[in-house]
Structure 1
Amino acid sequence: MQWQALLDAGRLGDAGYVEGRSRSIFVQDHDRIVFSAPFRRLANKTQVHPLYDHDHIHHRLIHSVEVASVGRSLAMRIGQWLIDRGEIAAGEEHSLANVVQAACAAHDIGNPPFGHSGEAAIGGWFAEQFAQGGGLIGDLDPALRPEFTAFEGNAQGFRILTRLEMYRNAGGMRLSHAVLGAFMKYPVTAAARLALPETERKAYAGLKKFGLFASEEALFARVADATGLPACGDARRGRWWRRHPLVLVVEAADDICYNIVDLEDAFTTGDLPYDVVREALDELAGRPNRDVAGLTRVEHIALLRALAIGAAINACVDAFEAHYDAIMAGSFTGSLIGASARSGEFTGIENLARERIFTARRKTELEVSGRQVIRNVLDGALPVYEELARHGWQPGALSDPSEQIARALSLDLRGVTDAAGALHAMADFVSGMTDRYALSVSRMLSGT
């Protein structure tokens, strides 16, 4: 892979666009993302703790802003190293930083309400519908079922960026090929991924999940061609692509932020005591010799969080440099955090989170509630789409009750002409909700 192609500034869906002199296209991409409605809705979507009233607990929007900040710092450091090696021209470090910042801002834009438990709830609902069969559900091509039963926020994010938002079905936000390439963590459809042997899926980080719905595969193929991402697979099993090198930087920024900040939030909520959080962050920060005698516990944790982020950035830059040849060949199989000198500390934090944060009583209770909320919403929307199918996909033929539900829920029925389109429209609807709006709609539909 070559940086000249990897930083391709061509716009998806707008081939004739010419970049202005005063503002980089990658900066414009960032601005389009942060001014979009899906990005704005992240302010009321769960990061870890659902429906918290505490003003200092992270939600998805704040998390995305912080990831973008860390990603920009990582990319600037890596960009300067690439200049020193003669890999890119002086000044191109800013292009790397702007691409990564934009991709980081968008990295969670497809996440549904209630976080990863919301993804599982959507997938579980679809799985139950497929098990029952019949009706609209029964009309879907069986090869597409895994897109819904293992609903994936990353694939939904690419769908938002390239199809749903702004220029609907005409390039979406019309972002640059470079930013879309850096966004794509899992460049494979669900069907193509499942056709691969399990050993092959486990051997490459880009195959851990799927990141493309079949409906957007051709769009990503254009991105991959423009940025020079090597294609793999075959016509029988399906295509997949090697990951863009800057995906590793976006992923590292995300890993750094959520691991470290989850600890700080757990201290704030009381799910973890001060001594436990202090020890974990102090170890990751390299046990800095700072005078903290005049600091409160909150200030001390905040200081250690900042120092830990700095130490993690240094470690990830070192890992990128050490594995550069494999990264550019597309053969690097892990993550920068996993390949870094701080991997042991991060493993300890992940274990701590899994054992004591993700199992906190309040979080667990609200995830159970959130799962039922999502089920109620999908149960309420399904009859509208089933009736739409029976009437040849003509919205004007809906009965008064269905038309009323469609109007009350603001269901978008444009362009729905088959079973796959209908089910994606349902997933678009529920995954785009904020936590509180999903709760409100659930109550309306259930009459409470």
Structure 2
Amino acid sequence: MQWTDLLCAERLSDPSYVEGRNRSIFVQDHDRIVFSAPFRRLANKTQVHPLYENDHIHHRLIHSVEVGSVGRSLAMHIGHWLIEQGEIDPHEDHSLANVVQAACAAHDIGNPPFGHSGEESIGSWFAERFDTERGLCGALDPALRAEFTAFEGNAQGFRIVSRLEMYRNAGGMRLSKAVLGAFMKYPATAATRSRLPVDVRKGYVGLKKFGVFSGEEALFAEVAQGCGLPMEQSASGRWWRRHPLVFVVEAADDICYNIVDLEDAFTSGDLPFDVVREALNELAGRPNRDTTGYTRTEEIALLRSLAIGRAIEACVAAFRENYAAIMDGSFSAALVDVSACAGSFAQIGTLAQERIFTARRKTELEISGRQVIRNVLDGVLPVFEALSAVGWDDAALRGHPAQIARALSLDLRDIDRPDAALHALADFVSGMTDRYALSVSRMLSGT
């Protein structure tokens, strides 16, 4: 792969666009993302703690902003090194930083309410409906079922930015191909991934999940071609190697959620001060800082800052050390996992699994959130079933389905077949904030 292709500034579905003199297209991409309604809704979506009333606990929007900040720093360091190596032209370090920051801003834009438990709830609900093989779910092509039963926020995010938001069905936000390439962690459809041999799926990090729905595969193929991403083609289908900057976006995300989850656990009372201080101290390299006079909150904040700085240095070094494999598409790991901080991150991950993600309040709210999502899906599905019964003519809807569609302002455009209807249902539910989902659940169930 070559940086002249990887930093492709051509807009998706708008190849004739020419950027202005005073504002990089990659900066415009970032601005389009942060001013969008899906990005704004992240302010009321769970990061780790659902429906938390403490204003200092992170939600998805703040997390995305922080990931963008860390990603920009990572990319600037890497860019400086690439200039020294003669790999990119002078000042292109800013292009790298702007691409990564934009991709970081968008990286969670497709996540449903209630975090990863929300993804699981949507997937399990669809799996149960497919088992009955009735109505719309029964009419869906079986090859497409995995798009719903393994519902994936990354694929939903690409659908939002490339199709639904702004220029609907005409490139979406029309972001640059470089930013869309850096966004795509899992460059394969669910159908292709499911048909690939197990050893192939396990052998490449970009196939850990799927990242694009079949309906948007052609759009990503356009992105991949523009960025010069290597394509793998077989009887199972086609998939692509990751854009090198995906590893940088992923590292920024890994750094932020691992470290900040600890800070939030202290703030929420799920972990005691001494446990959080020790974990952050280890990751920060045990800095000898005088914290006399600091409150506990201030000391944790200082250690969080130092830990992020050290993790950035370690991931930049890991990128340099694995550069050849990253550029030929064979590198298959997360930068944090091959960095000098890998051991500390592993310890934090274990701590989170054992004591943060299993905290009583979080567990109770995830159970409630799961039922909320199921209530919404149960209540809204009849609208799409009725739409199918009237030949996809939304003007012909009558009775209770028409009331629900009106009350929820459901978007019924472009629906003319079962997969389009089920994706529209998933669009609505995954786009909800935590609190709106709770409100709609109560309305639909009469509570």
Structure 1 and Structure 2 fold alike (TM over 0.5): yes
Q: Deviations over 1:161-192 (max 9, x none)?
A: 00000000000000000000000000000010
Gaps of 5+ in 2: none
Give the 5 Å matches for 1:106-255.
Answer: 106-234=106-234, 236-255=235-254
Look up the match of 1:406. Answer: 405
Q: Deviations over 1:251-297 (max 9, x none)?
A: 00000000000000000000000000000000000000110111111
Instruction: Give SS of 2:19's match.
Output: coil
Q: CA deviation at 1:200?
A: 1.0
Q: Which amino acid aligns with 1:100?
A: V
Measure the CA separation in 2 of the matches of 1:401 and 1:56. 41
Q: CA deviation at 1:135?
A: 1.1
Measure the CA separation in 1 of the matches of 2:383 and 2:296. 53
Instruction: Give SS of 1:338's match.
Output: helix
Instruction: Give SS of 2:10's match.
Output: coil
Measure the CA separation in 1 of the matches of 2:343 and 2:305. 19
Q: CA deviation at 1:391?
A: 1.1
Look up the match of 1:382. Answer: 381
Q: Which amino acid aligns with 2:196?
A: L
Q: Which amino acid aligns with 1:52?
A: Y
Look up the match of 1:63. Answer: 63
Instruction: Give SS of 1:112's match.
Output: coil
Look up the match of 2:337. Answer: 338
Q: Deviations over 1:275-324 (max 9, x none)?
A: 00000000000000110111111100000000000000000000000000
Look up the match of 1:298. Answer: 297
Look up the match of 2:81. Answer: 81
Structure 1 segments (4+ residues) deviating >4 Å: none
Q: Deviations over 1:87-120 (max 9, x none)?
A: 0011000000000000000000000000000000
Look up the match of 1:431. Answer: 430
**Residue 1 of structure 2 is aligned to residue 11 of structure 1:** no
Q: CA deviation at 1:233?
A: 2.6
Measure the CA separation in 1 of the matches of 2:28 and 2:422. 32
Measure the CA separation in 2 of the matches of 1:436 and 1:134. 31
Measure the CA separation in 2 of the matches of 1:365 and 1:401. 32
Bigger mean CA deviation after superposition, 386-395 or 254-263:
386-395
**Residue 285 of structure 2 is aligned to residue 308 of structure 1:** no
Aligned residues, how many?
447
Measure the CA separation in 1 of the matches of 2:352 and 2:196. 32
Measure the CA separation in 2 of the matches of 1:75 and 1:359. 34
Q: Which amino acid aligns with 2:15?
A: A
Instruction: Give SS of 2:337's match.
Output: coil
Q: CA deviation at 1:410?
A: 1.0
Measure the CA separation in 1 of the matches of 2:245 and 2:15. 23
Instruction: Give SS of 2:336's match.
Output: coil
Instruction: Give SS of 2:238's match.
Output: strand
Instruction: Give SS of 1:166's match.
Output: coil
Gaps of 5+ in 1: none
Instruction: Give SS of 1:240's match.
Output: strand
Q: Which amino acid aligns with 2:258?
A: N
Measure the CA separation in 2 of the matches of 1:387 and 1:39. 31
Look up the match of 1:278. Answer: 277
Query: In angstroms, what is the RMSD of aligned CA positions?
Result: 0.5
Instruction: Give SS of 2:335's match.
Output: coil
Measure the CA separation in 1 of the matches of 2:133 and 2:236. 26
Q: CA deviation at 1:400?
A: 2.2
Look up the match of 2:328. Answer: 329
Look up the match of 2:257. Answer: 258
Instruction: Please give the TM-score of this superposition, normalised by the length of structure 2.
Output: 1.00
Measure the CA separation in 2 of the matches of 1:63 and 1:134. 40
Q: Which amino acid aligns with 2:82?
A: L
Q: CA deviation at 1:381?
A: 0.8
Measure the CA separation in 2 of the matches of 1:16 and 1:331. 33
Q: Which amino acid aligns with 1:32?
A: R
Bigger mean CA deviation after superposition, 99-108 or 191-200:
191-200
**Residue 5 of structure 2 is aligned to residue 2 of structure 1:** no
Look up the match of 1:37. Answer: 37
Instruction: Give SS of 1:337's match.
Output: helix
Look up the match of 2:266. Answer: 267
Measure the CA separation in 2 of the matches of 1:321 and 1:15. 33
Q: Deviations over 1:318-372 (max 9, x none)?
A: 0000000000000001010011011000000000000000000000000000000
Measure the CA separation in 2 of the matches of 1:51 and 1:291. 36
Measure the CA separation in 1 of the matches of 2:138 and 2:378. 16
Q: Which amino acid aligns with 1:223?
A: V
Instruction: Give SS of 1:233's match.
Output: strand
Measure the CA separation in 2 of the matches of 1:200 and 1:15. 34
Q: CA deviation at 1:15?
A: 1.2
Bigger mean CA deviation after superposition, 126-135 or 177-186:
126-135
Q: CA deviation at 1:380?
A: 0.7
Q: Which amino acid aligns with 2:188?
A: V
Look up the match of 1:25. Answer: 25
Measure the CA separation in 1 of the matches of 2:396 and 2:277. 62
